[in-house]
Amino acid sequence: MSTMTDPPKADFRLSMLINDTRYRSLTFQVIAAIAIALSIWYLGNNLIQNLRAAGLNISYTFLGDPSGYDINQRLIEYDSQSSHGRAAVVGILNTLLVAFLACITATVFGVIAGVLRLSNNWLVSKLMAVYVEIFRNIPVLIWIIIIFTIMTAVLPGPRAFRGDNPTSSMLFDLFAFTNRGVYIPGPHFSSGFFSAAFLNWLLVIAVLIGSWFASREVEKRATLQQEQTGQRPKTGLVKLGVWLVPVALLMVLMGLTWDVPELKGFNFSGGIKIGGPLIALWFALSIYTGAFIAENVRAGIQAISKGQTEAAAALGLRPGRIMNLVILPQALRVIIPPLISQYLNITKNSSLAIAVGYADITATLGGITLNQTGRAIECVLLLMLFYLTASLLISMAMNVYNASVKLKER
At 41, is the pLDDT very low, low, confident or very high (cuts 50, 70, 90)? very high
Considering the domain boundaries, does residue 109 fall inside one?
yes
Looking from the CA of 407 toward its CB, the CA atoms found within 13 Å total 9
Q: Are 399 and 338 in contact (CB under 8 A)?
A: no
The pLDDT, as a whole number, for residue 10 is: 58
Q: What pLDDT shows up at residue 285?
A: 93
Residue 126 inside a domain? The answer is yes
H or E, element range at 268: strand 267-269
Q: What are the b/e assignments for 203-241, b being 16+ CB within 10 Å?
A: bbeebeeebeebbeebeeebeeeeeeeeeeeebeebbee
Q: Would 371 be classed as within a structural domain?
A: yes
The total number of structural domains in the chain stands at 1
Kindly report, residue by residue over 353-404, the tens digit of the pLDDT. 888 888 888 989 888 888 888 888 888 989 999 999 999 999 998 888 888 7
pLDDT digits (tens, 9 = 90+) for 133-143: 999 899 999 99
Question: Is 22 inside any structural domain?
Answer: no
- CA 407 – CA 403 distance, rounded (Å): 9
Length of the chain in residues, anyone?
410
Q: At 320, which CATH number? A: 1.10.3720.10
- Cα–Cα distance measured from residue 67 to residue 82, given in angstroms and rounded to the nearest whole number: 6
Residue scoring higher pLDDT (173 or 113): 113
Is 315 part of any domain? yes
Instruction: Report the distance separating Cα 80 and Cα 372, nearest Å.
Output: 13
Q: Is residue 8 over pLDDT 60?
A: no
Q: Is residue 51 part of a domain?
A: no
Span 151-207, pLDDT tens digits: 888 888 777 777 666 777 777 777 888 888 888 887 777 776 666 666 777 888 888
The whole-angstrom separation of Cα 182 and Cα 168 is: 14
pLDDT value for 170: 74
For 278-322, give the DSSP string.
HHHHHHHHHHHHHHHHHHHHHHHHHTS-HHHHHHHHHTT--HHHH
Quote the pTM value.
0.80
Pairwise CA distance, residues 409 & 344, whole Å:
30
Using the Cα atoms of residue 199, residue 204, residue 207 and residue 212 in order, give the sign of their dihedral: negative
Do residues 108 and 292 lie in contact, with contact meaning Cβ atoms separated by under 8 Å? no
Range of the domain at 291: 64-185+260-404
Greater model confidence, 187 or 10:
187
Q: How far is CA 374 from CA 103, 129, 404, in A?
A: 34, 48, 47
Task: Inform me whether the pLDDT recorded for 60 exceeds 90.
Answer: no
Q: Is residue 370 part of a domain?
A: yes
Per-residue confidence band for 101, with pLDDT thresholds at 50, 70 and 90: very high
Query: What span, in angstroms and rounded, lies between the C-alpha atoms of 328 and 114?
Result: 11
Q: What does residue 405 show for φ and ψ, rounded to 5 degrees? A: -105, 0
Q: List pLDDT tens digits, range 288-327.
A: 999 999 999 998 888 888 888 888 888 888 877 888 788 8
Asked whether residue 242 is assigned to any structural domain, the reply reads no
Res 409 pLDDT > 70: no
